[in-house]
Chain A
Amino acid sequence: MSKSLYERIGGEPAVNAAVDIFYRKVLNDDRISRFFDNVDMEKQAAKQKAFLTMAFGGPHHYTGEDMRKGHAHLVKMGLDDSHFDAVVEDLGATLEELNVPQELITEVVDICETTRNDVLGR
Chain B
Amino acid sequence: MYKLTIEDHAYSCQPDETVLDALLREEVNISYACKKGTCHSCMVRSPDTFPPEAAQAGLKNTLKKQHYFLACLCHPERDMLIKLPDQSEFYTEGTVVANEMLNRNTLLLTVAFKDAFEFNAGQFVNLQRPDGLTRSYSIANTPKESNTVEFHIRRLTNGRFSEWLHDELKVGDTLAVSEPRGHCFYLPERRDQGILLVGTGTGLAPLAGILTDALAQGHTGPIYLFHGSREVEDLYRIDEMRQLSKEHENFHYIPCISGSHVPEGFSGGRVNEVALASFTDLKGWRVFLCGHPEMVNHMKKMTFLKGAASADIYADAFLSTPT
Contact = CB atoms under 8 A, between A and B. Distances in A.
A1 interface: no
A41 B310 contact: yes
Contacts of A24: 304-305
A45 B312 CA distance: 13
Interface in B290-311: 297, 300-301, 304-305, 309-310
A42 B57 CA distance: 12
A41 B297 contact: yes
Contacts, number: 28
A20 B310 CA distance: 7
A20 B282 CA distance: 14
Contacts of B38: 42
B165 interface: no
A114 interface: no
B310 A28 contact: no
A6 interface: no
Given A24-B304, A27-B305, A40 B310 contact: no
A66 to B, nearest CB: 12
Contact of B300 (A28, A41, A46): A41
Nearest to B309: A20
Nearest to B308: A20
Contact of B301 (A19, A41, A46): A41
A97 B38 CA distance: 32
A28 B309 CA distance: 15
Contacts of A20: 304, 309-310
A23 B310 contact: yes
Interface in B38-90: 38, 57
Nearest to A48: B310
Contacts of A45: 310
A54 B84 CA distance: 36
Interface string A1-41: 00000000000000000011001100110000000000011
B36 A27 contact: no
Interface string B191-232: 000000000000000000000000000000000000000000
B313 interface: yes
A24 B300 CA distance: 12
A40 B305 contact: no
A26 B65 CA distance: 36
A40 B36 contact: yes
Nearest to B36: A40
Given A19-B310, A20-B310, A23-B310, A41 B304 contact: yes
B304 A27 contact: yes
A42 to B, nearest CB: 7
Nearest to A46: B57
Nearest to A16: B311
A118 B240 CA distance: 57
A28 B306 CA distance: 10
A101 B315 CA distance: 37
Given A27-B301, A43-B36, A43-B37, 11 more contacts: A20-B304, A20-B310, A23-B304, A24-B305, A27-B304, A40-B36, A40-B297, A42-B38, A42-B310, A45-B310, A46-B57
12 contacts: A20-B304, A23-B310, A24-B304, A27-B301, A27-B304, A28-B305, A40-B36, A41-B301, A41-B313, A42-B38, A42-B300, A42-B310
Interface of A: 19-20, 23-24, 27-28, 40-43, 45-46
